[in-house]
Amino acid sequence: VECSYEPITVYSARWIDCDDKKKLEEFKIKAVENLAIDGGGHLTYLAPTRVNLALMEERWPDVKFRATREHH
């Protein structure tokens, strides 16, 4: 299997929740470069800086940026 690695800057990871499916889809389109799926299959935002995270939380009030996630 061929693969390549690219370095990225990550300040913090936040697990994403949103009750409004339309807003979530809009968020996913706008934030695509900073989104990942964790090992449990959950949508995760990878904030490159503290300022970036604060701005995203301010700009997307309907999206919940959770610092922790429950394991079930």
Residues of the chain with pLDDT under 70: 72
| In contact, 48 and 7? CB cutoff 8 Å | no
Is the pTM higher than 0.85? The answer reads yes
Q: What is the pLDDT of residue 8?
A: 87
Distance CA(50)–CA(67), nearest Å, equals 13
Q: What is the pLDDT of residue 72?
A: 66
What stretches of the chain show up as alpha helix (H) in DSSP?
Answer: 21-30, 50-59
Q: What is the pLDDT of residue 1?
A: 87
Q: Give me the residue spans of the domains in the chain.
A: 12-66
Structural fold of domain 12-66: Alpha-Beta Plaits (3.30.70)
